[in-house]
Structure 1
């Protein structure tokens, strides 16, 4: 599902949305007038000012097109998009969560843009955005923006512990976190059910959450590689006092970190703004680094969330809709988006445009190793029951890791094959 990153919270404009939510309004306002294209953008994805700049520029460049940008609510969006794709009056361009593309593509109502990948510089796309958009060899989703987790750390606590800089490898990360974990101070606050973080550790060790072969899915948390990733998670989680039976929202980890006695949390960079709001004394004292990998010089694998753009097959303006996608995914508006919203651009070569922002630069470095959840229309159902969380708690509370992993893998496979 789409990850609603708080990285953009401080950047969002408070102005009223450009238009109210609504259905498609494709067509022209008057005979001989410009062609009206309906574009659905999710609430809080980007600022109104950004959309206003894009609309003005696009319409100047395409005199025969008028954009009707409609802001959509996240609640209930899955059903709304599915209904739109099945209708004869669909919007022309829709923003969707990167891991939702497979679900929508399964309906048969999304246009394959595979023939445009070269023109869109697809060889430069972030893997974590490009891969979920490609289903059965067809490119339905075009990467728009990305965001992923990094480590936010308290610089004062690092200094007091005699640590001069962020770790370069996972082994070094464990060492310095152990050094930071002293007395009432927590080396890291890592809740037991932060499964997106676990996914990165599993991928880094060569494992997968699930794999498909011959049309059949199999959960793979019980592979040696995936078990190794869980073992690293267990070692890291033990160097703090995070609960073993809840995730980062219960209690909100930003509130825990804001108390000042936690050295590190794993979060999107925008989490630092929430921490500083809770404790202004920490303003300017927080640093960022990518989740370390097994070897120096290469960040660890991490889950990449974000959005793709799709064109419904029912759109009556396929060529014009593609021009909207091409512009939003192109260098000019990717650069504007990254600087406005502190997102990671869809291309690895554009990471330089945010290098002056410490948090976003760390996020961009990690995004190069970004991955997405298994590309199945049924993955949303896995997340709904989430046997991965139950598996993590079982291991952290002393259950046999192999048995717990096997049970969770069987549950994942059953759901994906349902």
Structure 2
């Protein structure tokens, strides 16, 4: 789950970079010692004070040394595949929520049925289990919101929308009354588009017996794409790029007059830092992606991470105890409290109280309508470039026949998603 995709898969960049308690995260070290425990966490996934408190509490209670090794997102798939095929390399590990099912299907993860009855967030739990069997536990989630320039919206006389129609009306006012680009929206931000498809009751792909079938050539997917294209008409962004290249938060927003954009917490923080570094002052407001009606927010991709135990853990008993403590109500609440950028809690008994008007407030509001892509090993094949969903979006925005393009995309999705 690379940071630039949460995106595509996404996570928020949290307030503090996590430094290694063990080695430098190159993959050295290892489990297998009854007096130690090896934990792999991803770069940027937890504030250092939280890690320190957790490991100190665990070591005091169990007399076991915890070695936290920090892993980089780049190349993590290969490192995980290797580690999970070896005895004792890692005990507890963080996985992107779209990765978990794939590793569970290959037999790399231990069953965690004893933790199934904890009050996990229902939307986040879906990515951690297969056929009601738990192979990981939710850790945190994050999703996109609309980020807007308060001054430009005020200049245009635009108000924060509560429906799709009000959203379009606000963008029209900005176009009429300012020189700003009403919304920056590249043609291939496919997880944003997927939310609109989910609003219509559609999906990228659906289960068909024991296999999956692409489902973009449907009225629901076409309606979702039509709304995306309507928004994209207010943007000068090309139809054949996504939000990552160029990076919208640091390459586009700080250097152009952009009235609004759709992004993650780490992107908002990055844009603010870039604007301030250039001598400017950011005045961002935030609101959830609106739905079709005022009583239902729009669906948003719910990215995040799970925690799991290697089937070949060197210290499986202590791994389970560590996992239980790390995701307990006490430490889950401390994790939420420690993250000023905001995360979606993993448990229903954890309270998120973000500051009014903050990114986190808008993000948490959408958490109950988060959607996930198909949770199957082959989904990673679909996201490999050239991504058929992206290609379809560009064709649709450029006015090509939607049905023909969607049928072509569905055929490619079906082939890829059923390939392990």
Task: State the TM-score, normalized to the length of structure 2.
Answer: 0.90
Post-superposition offset of 1:407: 0.9
Q: Secondary structure at the match of 1:91?
A: coil
Aligned to 1:380: 380
Q: Distance in 2 between matches of 1:83 and 1:194?
A: 31
Post-superposition offset of 1:379: 0.7
1:12 has 2:7 as partner: no
1:210 has 2:205 as partner: yes
The within-5 A match list for 1:398-409 is 398-409=399-410
Aligned to 1:226: 221
Q: Secondary structure at the match of 2:95?
A: strand
Q: In the alignment, is the contact (CA less than 8 A) between 1:335 and 1:353 conserved in 2?
A: no
Q: Distance in 2 between matches of 1:417 and 1:19?
A: 38
Q: In the alignment, is the contact (CA less than 8 A) between 1:2 and 1:100 conserved in 2?
A: no
Post-superposition offset of 1:87: 1.9
> 1:149-177 CA distances to partner (integer Å, 9 max, x unpaired)?
110000011111112x3110111111111
Partner of residue 276 from structure 1, selected from 269, 272, 275 = 272
Q: Distance in 2 between matches of 1:225 and 1:92?
A: 43
Q: In the alignment, is the contact (CA less than 8 A) between 1:208 and 1:220 conserved in 2?
A: yes
Aligned to 1:152: 147
In structure 2, relative to structure 1, the CA distance for the partners of 1:38 and 1:10 (3 Å cut) is closer
Q: Distance in 2 between matches of 1:196 and 1:351?
A: 27
Partner of residue 310 from structure 1, selected from 308, 315, 320 = 308
Post-superposition offset of 1:360: 0.9
Post-superposition offset of 1:230: 0.3
Q: Distance in 2 between matches of 1:69 and 1:348?
A: 27
In structure 2, relative to structure 1, the CA distance for the partners of 1:210 and 1:267 (3 Å cut) is same
Post-superposition offset of 1:351: 4.6
Q: Secondary structure at the match of 1:211?
A: strand
Aligned to 1:32: none
In structure 2, relative to structure 1, the CA distance for the partners of 1:144 and 1:319 (3 Å cut) is same
Q: In the alignment, is the contact (CA less than 8 A) between 1:2 and 1:307 conserved in 2?
A: no
Aligned to 1:198: 193
Aligned to 1:68: 67
Deviates more, 1:315-324 or 1:286-295: 315-324
Post-superposition offset of 1:406: 1.1
Deviates more, 1:304-313 or 1:289-298: 289-298
1:172 has 2:171 as partner: no
Flag structure 2 segments of 5+ consecutive residues without an equivalent: none
Q: Secondary structure at the match of 2:244?
A: coil
CA RMSD, 1 decimal:
2.1
Flag structure 1 segments of 5+ consecutive residues without an equivalent: 29-34
Task: State the TM-score, normalized to the length of structure 1.
Answer: 0.91
Aligned to 2:319: 321
Q: Secondary structure at the match of 2:350?
A: helix
> 1:202-251 CA distances to partner (integer Å, 9 max, x unpaired)?
11110010011211210001111111100100111101212111011232
Q: In the alignment, is the contact (CA less than 8 A) between 2:20 and 2:68 conserved in 1?
A: no
Aligned to 2:352: 352
In structure 2, relative to structure 1, the CA distance for the partners of 1:143 and 1:338 (3 Å cut) is same
Post-superposition offset of 1:135: 1.7
Post-superposition offset of 1:72: 1.6
Q: Secondary structure at the match of 2:98?
A: helix
Deviates more, 1:45-54 or 1:96-105: 45-54
Aligned to 2:32: 26
Aligned to 1:299: 297
Post-superposition offset of 1:66: 2.3
Q: Secondary structure at the match of 1:354?
A: coil
Q: Secondary structure at the match of 1:99?
A: coil
Q: In the alignment, is the contact (CA less than 8 A) between 2:299 and 2:370 conserved in 1?
A: yes
Q: Distance in 2 between matches of 1:150 and 1:8?
A: 12
Q: In the alignment, is the contact (CA less than 8 A) between 1:148 and 1:302 conserved in 2?
A: yes
Q: In the alignment, is the contact (CA less than 8 A) between 1:146 and 1:306 conserved in 2?
A: yes
Partner of residue 131 from structure 1, selected from 116, 126, 131 = 126
Aligned to 1:187: 182
Post-superposition offset of 1:282: 5.6
Q: Distance in 1 between matches of 2:377 and 2:214?
A: 15
Aligned to 1:161: 156
